[in-house]
Amino acid sequence: MTSSLYAICAGLHEFLSLADDIVIDVPRIWQYIAELISPMLLDDDSEIPLDFLRRACSPLLSCEGGDKAALVISMVLLDAVHSLVSTPQQHCLLWVIIYIFGK
């Protein structure tokens, strides 16, 4: 892990360790976190691997009320897909692909 990736991961760890308390005041915090992380994965110049999500979200494994790490990771991936798919036709095609391969 490069030093900049390590710094990003350390900063996210610190913030995410407080997120379970922040959710009381900001109910959509998981979505907002996803909207902050997904552009880092989509940037053409980014060297951030998908495994980064697992490491960055590890503080959320101990949150009350379920696995918030899985929630944030799924929201990051969903936000990334929404950023890549821009037309209604592309959305429709995406759902068809998900349906076909989901069987």
pTM attached to this predicted model:
0.70
The pair phi, psi for residue 88, each rounded to 5°, is: -60, -35
What does the domain layout of the chain look like in residue ranges?
3-102
Q: How far apart are CA 101 and CA 53, in angstroms?
A: 24
Quick: pLDDT tens for 40-65: 877 777 777 777 888 888 888 877 76
Report which DSSP code applies to 66: S
- Provide the phi-psi class of 26: left if phi over 0, else alpha when psi is between -120 and 50, else beta: beta
Quick: pLDDT tens for 8-28: 888 888 888 888 888 889 999
pLDDT at residue 75, as a whole number? 87
Directed axis angle between helix 68-84 and helix 3-22, to 10°?
110
